[in-house]
Amino acid sequence: MIAILQAIFGGIALLGAIAASLSKSSYDKLIGIGLLTGGVIPFVAARGYLDVAIAVSLLVPVTTIIILQVTGPEEER
Amino acid sequence: MNAEFLLGLAILAIGTAATAFPGEKTYLARLINLEIPSFGLFLIMLAFDEMLALLTFVGVTAISTFIFVRIMERRDDR
Amino acid sequence: MEGIEGQIPLILTAGIGLYAAIRIVAERRTLRKLPYLNVLSFAVAASVALLIPHPLALAAAAAYFVGSTLESNAIASAYAGGPERQ
């Protein structure tokens, strides 16, 4: 993977980490986790671990759905 | 010193700071912020080519999140 | 860096992903963020499929696409009230 693509996907992952850590709402935090996942998956695929990429991309939404069971209803803003 | 290792260190630092000092001090915010350093540690394991560690770590993270959610439902305060 | 002419579609899809990520971070309302999360999943799935010339890369791209669509739909459904609070 060339350096431009590493910079782009690294930027996506860093934007996701910062957005997930700084936002107040639980739903915004979960959207930030999804953004972070989208930045991490191409690094896994570019090193050749395609089965690890399949496992991660199927297990992370399961974790998100488990966390969504305990988030309360969104307050009206 | 490749790109995955440096990116993993940066995400691990951000996520650890966000988990230790969350914006609002609830268990749910800490649980969601705990996902961020797990991805940082995942990238560091990827930089050292540990494939079995990657698969085991992702599976155990999902199971431990499930256990934490069950505990938070049983305590019934968020 | 002589092979950059063959990498133009990959750079284009990654650029679309970066644009969607910036729009997600810059947007204020939660429901406006979810379509751009879908755009990001399109772009990342295309990038994974273009990144490695291997048959299993198609399966990885399909798995990421299914997982990300499921995740964003679950967030939208829980935000709208969930199936049990109707």
Q: Which residue has the higher pLDDT, C77 or A74?
A: C77
Contact A59 B62 (CB under 8 A): yes
| Mean pLDDT, chain A, integer | 87
Query: Is the ipTM here above 0.90?
Result: no
Report percent pLDDT > 90 for chain B: 63
Contacts of A18 (CB under 8 A, 6+ apart): A32, B14, C25
**Domain boundaries, position C42:** 30-80
Q: Establish if A77 belongs to a structural domain.
A: no
Rg (alpha carbons) of chain A, rounded to whole number? 14
Q: Establish if C14 belongs to a structural domain.
A: no
Provide the domain count of chain C. 1
DSSP 8-class letter at C27: -
pLDDT at B36: 93
Q: Lowest mean pLDDT: which of A12-16, B22-26, C13-17, C74-78?
A: B22-26
Q: Establish if C38 belongs to a structural domain.
A: yes
**Residues of A whose CB is below 8 A from B28:** 26, 67, 70-71
Provide the domain count of chain B. 1
- Confidence band, pLDDT 50/70/90 cuts, at residue A77: very low
Report percent pLDDT > 70 for chain A: 91
Q: Tell me how far apart the alpha carbons of residues C77 and B25 are, in angstroms, rounded to a whole number.
A: 26
Q: Tell me how far apart the alpha carbons of residues B49 and B61 are, in angstroms, rounded to a whole number.
A: 19
Nearest CA-CA partner of A40 in A56, A28, A27 = A56
Q: Establish if C55 belongs to a structural domain.
A: yes
Q: Establish if C36 belongs to a structural domain.
A: yes
Q: Lowest mean pLDDT: which of A56-60, A70-74, C9-13, C82-86?
A: C82-86
Restricting to C residues 45-64, those with a Cβ less than 8 Å away from any Cβ of A are 47-48, 51-52, 54, 56-57, 59-60, 63-64
Q: Establish if A75 belongs to a structural domain.
A: no
**Domain boundaries, position A18:** 3-68
Does residue B41 surpass a pLDDT of 50?
Answer: yes
Is the Cβ–Cβ distance between A74 and A27 less than 8 Å?
A: yes
Mean pLDDT of B10-25: 90
Q: Does the CB of B33 have a partner CB in chain A at under 8 Å?
A: yes
Cβ count near B23 (within 10 Å): 13
Residues of chain C with pLDDT under 70: 1-3, 82-86
Provide the domain count of chain A. 1
Q: A29-51 pLDDT, tens per residue?
A: 999 999 999 999 999 999 888 99
Nearest CA-CA partner of A33 in B25, B15, B9, C81 = B15
Question: In this complex, which of A2, A12, A71 lies closest to C17 when CB atoms are compared?
Answer: A12
